[in-house]
Amino acid sequence: MSTILKIEGLSHRYSTSWAIRDINLEIQQTGVVGLLGSNGAGKSTTMNIMCGVLNQTEGRVYINGIDIRQQPELAKKEIGFLPQNPPLYTDLTVDEYLTYCAELRLIEKHRIKAAVNEAKERCGIAHFSTRLIRNLSGGYRQRVGIAQAIIHKPKLVVMDEPTNGLDPNQLIEARKLIREIALDHTVLLSSHILSEIHLLCKEVIMIEGGRIIFSDTMDAFNNYVQPHTVLVGMENMPPVAELMKIRGVSKVEVLTEKQARIYFDGEKDITERIITASVQHEWRLQEISLDKGLLDDIFKQLTIQSHQ
């Protein structure tokens, strides 16, 4: 499997302060990879360097095996970039703008029309071909921005906060589009919104204070913090006092008349005890699952750890 993006020892300094320090990462497969971090963590600096917008102070960036600093034009043919504020010329129509983008990407003249049409179809904006971009809604402007990022069929598509500022309906459509693009492209998606990373990504890279503090699968990210709680659903939910009698239970939080969160002291067989008690007392247990906790808790834990 070929490596789409490889970063070695990447560091960048603005004046006297380091924005990022010794970033190392490697991405090999298609799909969505999340770049997560709080505002000012170093995400945008990292993306600007990997897309050739900014020259790094130290380190190397390889796009599909090509050093972007040594061969920038060749490397950029493999990159599609959607900045946080899409680079749209609002006085142009959708067709005029995408044709211009195709020319910038050095697509052969005889292929430009087909490339524009394909990008419009993929992003669901073909019916707005002659519409001025200024007259499009925020959601459709974002689609035009995504279209310019994929028009030349790059190996790597980098998106900086692509769902920022969209309303709920636009969010759903944008997520669907990003998932579709990720079927045959590698998508690196930056966000400080944990729920977006959780919904879209199969791998997570977390940057805090200019350094990578986590890099693994989404499942590993979710499992990083293991709170000692389980969620239970029972048809005949007993009083809290009865649940507290189960050995190892330290606290019970009633969520609904048929669901509760049970805190325990780390006992490994707590689920077996709950099941046994339910059978004995006919509580009719319907569900029991480990409560993974909020992504916000994981984010906080990893951030605190990075500063220790």
Quickly list DSSP for 288-299: EEE----HHHHH
Query: Among residues 123, 182, 189, which one has the least CA distance to residue 155?
Result: 182
Sign of CA dihedral 72, 74, 78, 81: positive
Average pLDDT over residues 207-232: 80
Average pLDDT over residues 226-234: 78
Q: pLDDT for 254-306, tens place per residue?
A: 988 999 989 887 666 788 889 889 999 999 998 887 665 555 666 677 777 66
Residues 195 and 72 in one domain: yes
Cα(158)–Cα(81) distance, integer angstroms: 5
Average model confidence (pLDDT) for the chain? Answer: 88
Q: How confident is the model at residue 112 (pLDDT cuts 50, 70, 90)?
A: very high
What pTM, to 2 d.p., does this model score? 0.75
Cα(234)–Cα(215) distance, integer angstroms: 38
Token pair, residue 172, equals 């759903």
What amino acid occupies position 251?
K
- Residue 192: its pLDDT value, please? 80
pLDDT higher than 70, residue 116:
yes
Burial 241-255 (b: 16+ CB within 10 A, else e): eebeebebbeebeee
Last residue of a domain, one of 130, 150, 170: 150
Instruction: Report the Cα 161 to chain-centroid distance in Å.
Output: 9
pLDDT higher than 70, residue 5:
yes
Domain range enclosing 105: 87-150
pLDDT higher than 80, residue 195:
no
Residues 198 and 307 in one domain: yes
Cα(70)–Cα(56) distance, integer angstroms: 12
| Between 295 and 231, residue with greater pLDDT | 231
Last residue of a domain, one of 150, 173, 190: 150
Residues 308 and 175 in one domain: yes
